[in-house]
Amino acid sequence: MTTTTLLAAPAPTAGGPHPRRGPRTSVSLVLALAGGLATESAFPARSWWPMAYVGIALLLLALRRDSVRWGFLTGGIFGLAFFLPHLWWANEAVGEPIGWIALSAMEASALGGFGGVWVWVRRTPLVRDRAGLQVVAAAVLWVAVEQLRGRVPFGGFPWGVLAFSQTDAPLLRLASLGGTTLVSAAVVVLGGVLALVALRVRHDGVRAGVVGGVLASAVALGPGLMPLGTAAQSGTLAVGAIQGDVPAQGAEAMSQARAVADNHLSGTRTLLQQVGPGALDLVVWPESASDIDPRTDRELGAAVDAVAQAAGVPILFGTQRFEPPVRYNDYVLWQPGLGGTASYSKQRPVPFGEYIPYRSFFRRLSPAVDLVGTDMVAGAGIALLDVPIVRLGRAVPITTAICFEVAYDQLIRESVVAGGELIVIPTNNASFGLTQESTQQLAMSRFRAVEHGRAVVQISTVGVSAMIGPDGTYLERTGHFTSNQMAQDLPLRTSLTLADRLGRWPAGVVDALAVLLLAAGLLTTPAVRRRGARPSR
């Protein structure tokens, strides 16, 4: 492969002329901007999944200039073009743009870091003249950056991970092998191959790009041939799910907690009339289905117990537990005649959404921080509830990650490994209006279904809710801001996927490789630059 097909401007040679340093600045910026917008279109609401490969290809082409600082700027432009539309729902939730812009800029800076580091690493002798290694190095560095921004700051924010754009694509099946690490890496590899094909076609004609095109097609479509286990392994569970809706759209609906609880009580009665007596094993309500805690409010507790006894099955529901000066986001197991017997408390409260870090400092930037009046604190323990099921004569362990926790790999994995046979994602999307936040979250739930080989129920106060098979297919789905009920017999599964068995290893290997690439850059690049930086006269 000629140097014109490398993902970098050709390196200078000792005593030789200094080569052109990549595309013009204006071209780089246009490519980065187009790449960010293309990549965002691969995610819900559009879900044009091949555009993720196109977007990454455009970014790598934009980064061909041999300048670390320009690489950071180019990656940052790509990041802003991606995150500003991708996180638009943050503006809807807060009601003023400062939070949306700050969050988008912070996430975009991580992609700027990718751009700068990629240019640096690509100068190393091992990578510089090898197109294949350049593609692999780009994938390693990208995934390492994704993992870093999923951890810091404030516990990280793994929204916009490339893997979550592939829930309608054949690549989704790779989730069972290596989770988000493998799927995101595959997307970058495909983008890198497309970039190389584009450069080869430009230099040698269309025929020269055929091999690369075939390779890209094989990587993109081949995983669709992988079989996935979907059969029940420890019985089935007849689950009813209630999307109660709220009296009004927007954040103000949060103050109408009793009316929201009444909606879910009414929806449960409606479902019982539809399915008949004895048809269900379990009823699930969403996060914040009853923000007045039925465990402490006698009137509401009696109403919840009455509908649980009418159903003859346990109910899982979300509520707020206040222990001044803080609160907890609980998902409660309510048994007929016994009340709330167990609960899981959310471990990953959302910074600036459910609690305000460094409140006095951030209040100087915006008074909107005080919309969060009482800070939520993290619970402890695994996201798992053992739910007694009379028909099965045993307790079924159910993974119960709450809302944004669906984005965190390890939290769900540790619950499944601990015995979770079904995954329930209760969420409250009322404050996000008709934005794409709920469908982005639903894509993550579909990804988790395949990653762990489990049926998943995402149940929202206002939608979008769905019941999902272990292969990521929809069994049933609701709309936005509607009152809906769903009922399905879901398979209970106990086997662990390879992704579950490997655990943190794929991510750890990627991190180690990224560190080695950085070390190689630090040890070798300065010498290379000194030998070749002086152009001939």
Catalytic residues: 287, 346, 403
- In the sheet with 326-335, reading across from the earlier edge strand, the strands are 339-345, 326-335, 315-323, 282-284, 236-243, 484-491
Query: Token pair for residue 526?
Result: 């300065």
CB 103 within 8 A of CB 157: yes
Tokens 């609690």 identify what position?
A: 355
Angle between helices 437-452 and 175-204 (to 10 degrees): 110
Tell me how far apart the 2 most distant CA atoms of the chain are, in Å. 91
- Note the residue count of the chain: 537
Q: What single-letter amino acid sits at 495?
A: S
What's phi and psi for 209, nearest 5 deg?
A: -90, 0
CA dihedral 192, 197, 199, 205 (to 10 degrees): 180
Question: In 383-436, where does DSSP find H-type helix?
Answer: 409-417
The 3-state DSSP class for residue 329 equals strand
Six-digit token string for 107: 């996430």
Q: Token pair of 362, please?
A: 């951030």
How far apart are the C-alpha atoms of 318 and 333, rounded to whole Å? Answer: 9
Copy the structure tokens of residue 93: 């939730």
Distance of CA 285 to the CA centre of its chain: 22
Q: What is the dihedral of CA 284, 293, 402, 100, to 10 degrees?
A: 130
Q: 37: Cβ–Cβ under 8 A, 6 or more apart, which residues?
A: 55, 81, 82, 85
Tokens of residue 220, six digits: 């993109």
CA atoms within 13 A on the CB side of 84: 14
Rounded Cα distance between 292 and 15, Å, is 76
- Cα dihedral across residues 303, 307, 313, 315: positive or negative: negative
Both tokens of residue 458?
């995402």
Assigned token pair, 238: 């007849």
